[in-house]
Structure 1
Amino acid sequence: MALSLRKTVVMVGMMGAGKTAIGRAVAEELDVPFLDSDEEIVRAAQMEISEIFERDGEGFFRDRETEVITRLLEEAPCILSTGGGAFLSPRNRDVISEKGVSVWLNADLELLWSRVRHKDTRPLLRTADPKATLTELWQARVPHYQQADLAVESHENYSISDMAERVILNLKKRSDVLGHKQENENG
């Protein structure tokens, strides 16, 4: 029996946690759309996030981020990946909790470092000591991520498919989020 997504699932966590890769796999498994809030902001603004930060500042960007996340949560249920900083905002946490369900991909610092250390696509890590920067970000952000509705532990030996399966198993515990299509038709 096919599963039916009743609320948007919002993937939260640090850079390198796998929000996009695992989110895409979950979306494919559930046969629902996958969206990325950062991509939606870029599309709406017609400029890169780094350009928005430079031209208009972080406050302006965070306001647009909240607008986009709120809009996406009002549309048909999907899997939504957010930027690492999105869940730090109480406004975003509140609207996600009210209209969707948040899933924290909880990866430890060493796993995150192993995934991001050789990539130059992470502007926040373009510092003299990127591991120290990542450590500071991780320590500051984990208390916010711990407020997520669900948490799924990452391990280095888990594949994307393994993690997607673990996310879906956690979502199945929430009948308000994920159920069988027959249940939707009868109830």
Structure 2
Amino acid sequence: MENLLEVRDMEVHFTHRSSLLDILLGKQKKVVRAVDGISFDLQPGEILALAGESGSGKTTTGKGILRLVEPTGGSINFLGEEVRDFSRERLRRFRRDAQVILQDPFESLNPRHTVYQIVSEPLIVNGMIHNLKEQEEIVDQALIDAGLDNPRLFYYRYPHELSGGQRQRVAIASTLVLNPKLFLWCIGR
């Protein structure tokens, strides 16, 4: 069986900006090695958990896989294709198939959008709906699958009106609507 995802020696390094004094003194730029050589395989239907302390690179690993931050080394293969070589259009299609939920849903949910707008936006952006009835059915099912019974009670609520658990479920629902092949969930302790 072909691996869904193969990550080999992936690195994500960030360079700190040098101050004027550092430049004048000829000091080298400081490099933060957020992810330094992680490797793993993931088969369809398989679950992989990355555990570690806060700041250990779990979220950066997920962002690197999706190229939300650019990896500085290694390879990332999704169904046999090198993600680091994807064109802008291919990367957009890949991100439809590979979804991420970030650690803090309050920061990732648009505070000016209702729950309905948040959950239906990926469908609209990806041109996956044909009419309003279909959109509502998909949004309803995603909210139910994410653990929010009576989904229509949440349609016109905003993120700040929800509990932390409800916000997390809305974030999950907004990824489920796309029926991704790869689901990355970055959670902390």
Fold equivalence (TM over 0.5):
no
Q: Which TM-score applies when normalising by structure 1?
A: 0.28
Higher fraction of helix: 1
Q: Which TM-score applies when normalising by structure 2?
A: 0.28
Structure possessing the higher relative contact order (Cα contacts under 8 Å, 6 or more residues apart)? 1
Task: Tell which structure's C-alpha radius of gyration is larger.
Answer: 2
